[in-house]
Amino acid sequence: MTRRPGFLVYGLLTAFLVGSAAPLYWSFLLGSHTKEIAAQGVPPLLPGGHFWSNAERAMTTIPFWKAIGNSLLVSTVTACSVVFFCTLAGYAFAKLRFRGRGPLLVFVIATMAVPTQLGVVPMFILMSEFGWTGTITAVIIPWLVTAFGVFFMRQYLVDAVPDELVEAARMDGCSQIRIFWHVAAPAARPAAAILWLFTFMQVWTDFFWPLIALPNSNPTIQVALNQLQSGFFKDYSLVLAGTTLATIPLLVLFVLAGRQLVSGIMQGAVKG
Amino acid sequence: MSNSTTSRGGGTQTVPPTREGSSAASGSTGRTPRPEWRQRLTRLDVRLSPYLYISPFFVLFLVVGMFPLAYTAWVSVHDWSLIGGKGEFVGLDNFREVLGNPYFTKQLVNTISIFLLSSVPQIVIAVVLAALLDNQLRGRTFWRMSILLPFVVSPVAIAIIFGSLYGDRYGLINELLGHVGIDPVGWHTERFASHVAVATMVNWRWTGYNALILLAAMQAVPRELYESAAMDGAGRVRQFVSITLPMIRPTMIFVVITSTIGGLQIFAEPRLFDETNARNGGSDRQFGTITMLIYDFGWQLRDLGRASATAWLLFVVICAFGIANFLLIRRIGALGGDR
Amino acid sequence: MALTLATTAAACGGGDDDGTTADGVTTITVATFNEFGYEGLIDEWNAANDDIKIEQVKVGTWDDAKANLYTKLAAGSGLSDIEAIEGDAMPAILAEEGAFEDLTDDEIDGRWLPWVEEKTLNADGQMIGYATDIGPEGICYRADLFKKAGLPTDREEVAGLMGTWDDYFALGEEFIKKVPDTAWYDSSGGLAQAMLNQVANPFETDDNTVEVENDELKAVWADVTGNIEKGLSTKLPQWGDDWTASFQNDGFATMACPGWMLGVVEGNAEGVEGWDIANVFPGGGGNWGGSFLTVPSQGDNVEEAKEVAAWLTAPEQQVKAFAAKGTFPSQVEALESDEVTSATNAFFNDAPTGEILAERAQAVTVQPYKGPKYSDILQAFQAAVLRVDDGSQDAAESWDQFVTDVEALG
């Protein structure tokens, strides 16, 4: 794979990029015009000059920065927790022998197949038993581990960590935890980076549970953004300025984490 | 599980089973003999570590994952009003009622149709995209992060944007179709067209995500394999088919299984797409899915019993599809070990 | 993180505690959706009271508010001290025994219009909710399009032409002959809603027996679906994107306008000139919408909550809410107040909207009986209308499916 990719590759990627970014640009466009223009549906191709005034309106209507802060906190904590616990369990499922391994893994995967729409009622009962309703804890706890994370890490590690490597380490007298830390964990980095990012994004966009679990004076960003739609008349310029503004911290995070994550993907490639 | 069997065989050499005693091992390996307590410790380490590693996950999972499931199962065999709470035990009555409901069949067909229209193209495009990104690109980071852009858009914005794209009368797509002389498409009213529209929303959102997962797996494929294949004169397509695809099979299984589960549970997109008051998938439930039926039973009609029964019925359908897909993909790439 | 948790718990009253802090201040939470216009009122209360503070919990739409309400009713905890309920969902709430407090209070006897008060009483005659606003309906119309069709444009003259539904439809047929690209009204769903609100027993008899195959409902159905064929309707789902866009595209010329709809029209039709409102409603008066404040029994401070709910829904307060967000008051005294009757609306050609709507409220004679299944059946009915609108079924087929759907509700 030493050959440099050609025009076709860049062309296809660019086409994909345009498709991915277009709706985001569209929201920015509508958010940058007056509500009069936004109400007319399809906007002009160039942004108008009202983005900051719309954004300011959005920020004074809802507790914007507080909500962003809450979302950052919830997403970061859960992403780190999922990565840690699921890598550990995923490694055990991928590389260690123990009684009940197969059935337990199938069981974990099967639980993903039950739709979650109804989960809010028992979850709310559970959280109020613990006295956590209304606090950020109630939004964090349900996301601390995911079946998805375990399955993902297991599938990645099964091949990314060669059995011979684990074996060799054991022959050298490494304890299990050392093998995990020095052999499996480095190999898991790219997958862990992706799992971190996905969990972060998923928790960031979650709406229904935070709506129910948190008081509205202390919401996550999605719940706060939803308040912009109050009233029968939807002011698209206001709503979309708000949603666009809310993606800015994410884009910054992407740029900062992006290098880290992608270099993680590269280094993780186990050489033979 | 052939690979695992190998590793077990290896394990037996280093750490012999108790009944054989310790002398055989320390003698045969030729390493510095270790004291017996140390070997015991190692053995304990090997035996207990797996449980230690999975237990934090399972302890948390039992609380946050299993309790809701058990609760739903319990509710499904009772007469259970959302507000009024538990009524009589009714056995399988809820299940019978749901299976007899004409909308169940209709929405199951919709679900499967939308699932096929989204998952199949999504995985194919994701594989191609991952292969493109698995190149020595200029500005690698940029390209890789850019495919996740759809992921940062708030659901509120998605509803607005796709609403104005797919408007039946004043939508952008129908307007463009009009310019080339094609009649407007009833995106919200014609059953198949509505499935296509919903599937587009799904694919737009999730293709890049799947591509990134596949990319990570592709990056873990040892480069030497490609080099030796290239020396044998294999072209890039051939390399991809005979090296990359088999090597990423566990991840491929993961992607297929999770897309099956996610695709058959599709909820957010059709609900955001819906413009009717009831929001259960169009005037005639043209694009109503099973999860929307669950929501309708639960939160609209306040019948938690029927809602829970529907949830478990969907569980059965998903398991059937999941197993079928698993067997299918195992057969397709029947190279290498069974994982 | 421990610090964060501690502070958030303090800030929000911590869900499970009783909302009373160490210094004896009780915080009463009020959950609302859409716009109730309460922000200024709450500031006013909080400035004047030291022992009880009000905190508003705002959710965007009733749909989300409803999901939240039902989940917490099911879980048995977590509701706000005061929960706002959308009018059409009220019958289902009244049927839930023991979940909400009886708010009956002699002191506020006669505060509301009689037909509004009736909607708040459960089977035992307990008052479960305090009415906030109502939606008396007039007819909004585009004077500029009327002119184009050669129809009178003056709001008094227009009112004279729409006394009955037959008059209204006949005028519509005349209109679409002259202006074929524009429909007569905004949506079949909106029309159906307006007409249903004049039927005494649309879906259920007074003893809560579901009875949809009645002549009155069938007559509404025949009118609504017949008009679709004649081309009077835009055939668009109300509140959808196409419907919203039709305001900017001369999509229609008239619509049934409850008081709260004025803001919707003004927002969606921004930049469009020619809107006006006529002091008339075909077939007599009609009310569409309006909400109620209830006090869930699971709360810890029900007495204080009652006090706050009574204060918020008092005439003086609702008059201020009307000034803030245009929610039209349901209280007799508020309707007679100068602030309400003297209100005009610049967007609607300076129409005396306060006076018009107050008169429309007095004109309401029939209040439809709404049983616990009303809102569920209404959704099935709206879907049935839409199936004819979008051409997926003809009227007979769609009616049959509606009947089956209603049977399946059980």
Taking domain B94-332, whether its CATH number is 3.40.50.720 is answered by no
Residue A84: closest C-alpha in chain B: B57
Does any CB of chain B come closer than 8 Å to the CB of residue C237?
Answer: yes
C367 is written with which tokens? 């209040």
> What is the rounded distance in angstroms from the CA atom of residue C85 to the CA atom of residue C231?
36
**A138-160 pLDDT tens trace:** 999 999 999 999 999 999 999 88
Helix residue ranges per DSSP H, B220-287: 223-231, 236-239, 245-247, 249-264, 268-273
Can you give the CATH number for the domain in which C153 is found?
A: 3.40.190.10
Answer whether residue C360 is part of any domain.
no
C247 contacts on A by Cβ (under 8 Å):
39
Residues C258 and C216 reside in one and the same domain: yes
Which DSSP symbol is given to C210?
Answer: B
B101 contacts on C by Cβ (under 8 Å):
408
Q: How many helices (H) and strands (E) does chain A have?
A: 14, 0
* Chain mean position to CA C91: 14
| Domain span(s) for CATH 1.10.3720.10 in chain B | 94-332
Residues C317 and C383 reside in one and the same domain: no
> What is the rounded distance in angstroms from the CA atom of residue B334 to the CA atom of residue C296?
61
What average pLDDT values come out for chain B (339 residues) when binned by 10 residues? 34 35 41 71 85 93 90 94 88 95 95 96 95 87 86 88 91 93 94 96 93 90 88 88 89 93 94 88 94 93 94 95 88 51
Looking at the predicted structure, is the pLDDT value of residue A269 above 80? Answer: no
- Which CA distances in Å does A144 have to A84, B66, B68? 10, 14, 15
Residues C141 and C279 reside in one and the same domain: yes
Q: Which of B4, B154, B277 to mutate to test the interface with A (most CBs of A within 10 A)?
A: B154
Does any CB of chain A come closer than 8 Å to the CB of residue C35?
Answer: yes
Which residues are CB-neighbours of B69 under 8 A, at least 6 positions away? A111, A114
Residues of chain C with pLDDT under 50: 1-17
- Looking at residue B34, what is its pLDDT? 60
Residues C121 and C270 reside in one and the same domain: no
Of A153, A161, A158, the C-alpha closest to A195 is: A153
Residues C142 and C241 reside in one and the same domain: yes
DSSP secondary structure, C66-124, as one string: HHHHHHHHHHT----SEEEEEGGGHHHHHTSTTTB-----GGGTT-B-HHHHHTTB-TT
> What is the rounded distance in angstroms from the CA atom of residue B80 to the CA atom of residue B307?
10
User: Helix (H, G, I), strand (E, B), or coil: what is residue B182?
Assistant: coil
**Dihedrals phi, psi of C290, to nearest 5 degrees:** 110, 150
Measured between CB atoms, which of B283, B286, B301 is closest to C376?
A: B301
Answer whether residue C392 is part of any domain.
yes
- Looking at residue C246, what is its pLDDT? 92
Determine, for residues C242 and B85 on separate chains, whether the beta-carbon distance falls below 8 Å.
no
Mean pLDDT of A57-67: 91
- Looking at residue C399, what is its pLDDT? 97
> What is the rounded distance in angstroms from the CA atom of residue C246 to the CA atom of residue A248?
33
Does any CB of chain C come closer than 8 Å to the CB of residue B171?
Answer: yes
From B200's Cα to the closest Cα of chain C, the distance in A is: 18
B318 contacts on A by Cβ (under 8 Å):
113
Model pTM?
Answer: 0.89
- Looking at residue B24, what is its pLDDT? 38
Place of tokens 């506020």: C108
Which residues are CB-neighbours of A240 under 8 A, at least 6 positions away? A27, A28, A30, A31, A38, B157, B160
Answer whether residue C356 is part of any domain.
no
Residue A8: closest C-alpha in chain B: B132
User: Helix (H, G, I), strand (E, B), or coil: what is residue C293?
Assistant: strand
Cβ atoms of B252 and B329 closer than 8 Å:
yes
- Looking at residue C19, what is its pLDDT? 59
Residues C191 and C281 reside in one and the same domain: yes
ipTM: 0.90
C346 is written with which tokens? 């610049």
Measured between CB atoms, which of B53, B149, B253 is closest to A21?
A: B149
- The torsion region of residue B233 among left (phi > 0), alpha (psi -120 to 50) and beta comes to left
Residues C252 and C272 reside in one and the same domain: yes
Determine, for residues A216 and C261 on separate chains, whether the beta-carbon distance falls below 8 Å.
no
Does any CB of chain B come closer than 8 Å to the CB of residue C268?
Answer: no
Of B76, B115, B73, B98, the C-alpha closest to B324 is: B115
Q: What letter represents residue C244's amino acid?
A: T
Tell how strand C82-86 and strand C275-278 pair up: unpaired
A262 contacts on B by Cβ (under 8 Å):
140-141, 144-145
Q: What letter represents residue B26's amino acid?
A: S
- Looking at residue B18, what is its pLDDT? 37
Residues C244 and C282 reside in one and the same domain: yes
C66 is written with which tokens? 């409803």
> What is the rounded distance in angstroms from the CA atom of residue C401 to the CA atom of residue C410?
15
- Looking at residue A264, what is its pLDDT? 57
**Dihedrals phi, psi of B101, to nearest 5 degrees:** -80, 125
* Chain mean position to CA A155: 19
> What is the rounded distance in angstroms from the CA atom of residue C345 to the CA atom of residue C358?
14
**Dihedrals phi, psi of A33, to nearest 5 degrees:** -110, 170
A229 is written with which tokens? 């739609």
Cβ atoms of A28 and A244 closer than 8 Å:
yes
- Looking at residue C84, what is its pLDDT? 97
**C136-175 pLDDT tens trace:** 999 999 999 999 999 999 999 999 999 999 999 999 999 9
Determine, for residues C29 and A215 on separate chains, whether the beta-carbon distance falls below 8 Å.
yes
Q: Which of residues 158-197 of C touch B (CB under 8 A)?
A: 189
Of C100, C288, C253, the C-alpha closest to C179 is: C253
Q: For helices C395-408 and C215-230, what crossing angle results, to 10°? A: 140
Residues C260 and C329 reside in one and the same domain: no
Measured between CB atoms, which of A101, A119, A159 is closest to B220?
A: A159
Q: What letter represents residue B240's amino acid?
A: F
Of A29, C159, A194, the C-alpha closest to B151 is: A194
Residues C167 and C274 reside in one and the same domain: yes
Residues C245 and C382 reside in one and the same domain: yes
Residues C337 and C374 reside in one and the same domain: no
Does any CB of chain A come closer than 8 Å to the CB of residue B154?
Answer: yes
Place of tokens 């309790």: B67
Answer whether residue C352 is part of any domain.
no
Does any CB of chain B come closer than 8 Å to the CB of residue A60?
Answer: no
Measured between CB atoms, which of B140, B150, B315 is closest to A113?
A: B315
Of C89, C290, C68, C268, the C-alpha closest to C186 is: C268
B1 contacts on A by Cβ (under 8 Å):
102
For A69-216, the fitting CATH number among 3.40.50.1780, 1.10.3720.10, 1.10.3300.10, 3.30.300.30 is 1.10.3720.10
CB pairs under 8 A between A and B: 307
Determine, for residues B302 and C391 on separate chains, whether the beta-carbon distance falls below 8 Å.
no
**Dihedrals phi, psi of A176, to nearest 5 degrees:** -55, -40
Determine, for residues A17 and B61 on separate chains, whether the beta-carbon distance falls below 8 Å.
no
Answer whether residue C20 is part of any domain.
yes
Answer whether residue C218 is part of any domain.
yes
Cβ atoms of B14 and B24 closer than 8 Å:
no
Q: What letter represents residue C373's amino acid?
A: K
Cβ atoms of B201 and B155 closer than 8 Å:
no
Cβ atoms of B304 and B82 closer than 8 Å:
yes
Q: Residue C49 sits in which domain range?
A: 12-134+289-341
Measured between CB atoms, which of B84, B171, B301 is closest to C409?
A: B301
Give the total number of structural domains in chain C: 2
Of A29, A264, A198, A76, the C-alpha closest to B147 is: A198
Q: Which of C187, C241, C404 to mutate to test the interface with B (most CBs of B within 10 A)?
A: C241
> What is the rounded distance in angstroms from the CA atom of residue C202 to the CA atom of residue B150?
46
Determine, for residues B60 and A244 on separate chains, whether the beta-carbon distance falls below 8 Å.
no
Answer whether residue C349 is part of any domain.
no
Does any CB of chain C come closer than 8 Å to the CB of residue B93?
Answer: no
Vertex B108 angle, CA B102 and B111, to 5° = 140
A246 contacts on B by Cβ (under 8 Å):
154
Residue A9: closest C-alpha in chain B: B132
B188 contacts on C by Cβ (under 8 Å):
237, 240, 390
Vertex C244 angle, CA C238 and C248, to 5° = 135
Determine, for residues C16 and A40 on separate chains, whether the beta-carbon distance falls below 8 Å.
no
User: Helix (H, G, I), strand (E, B), or coil: what is residue B114?
Assistant: helix
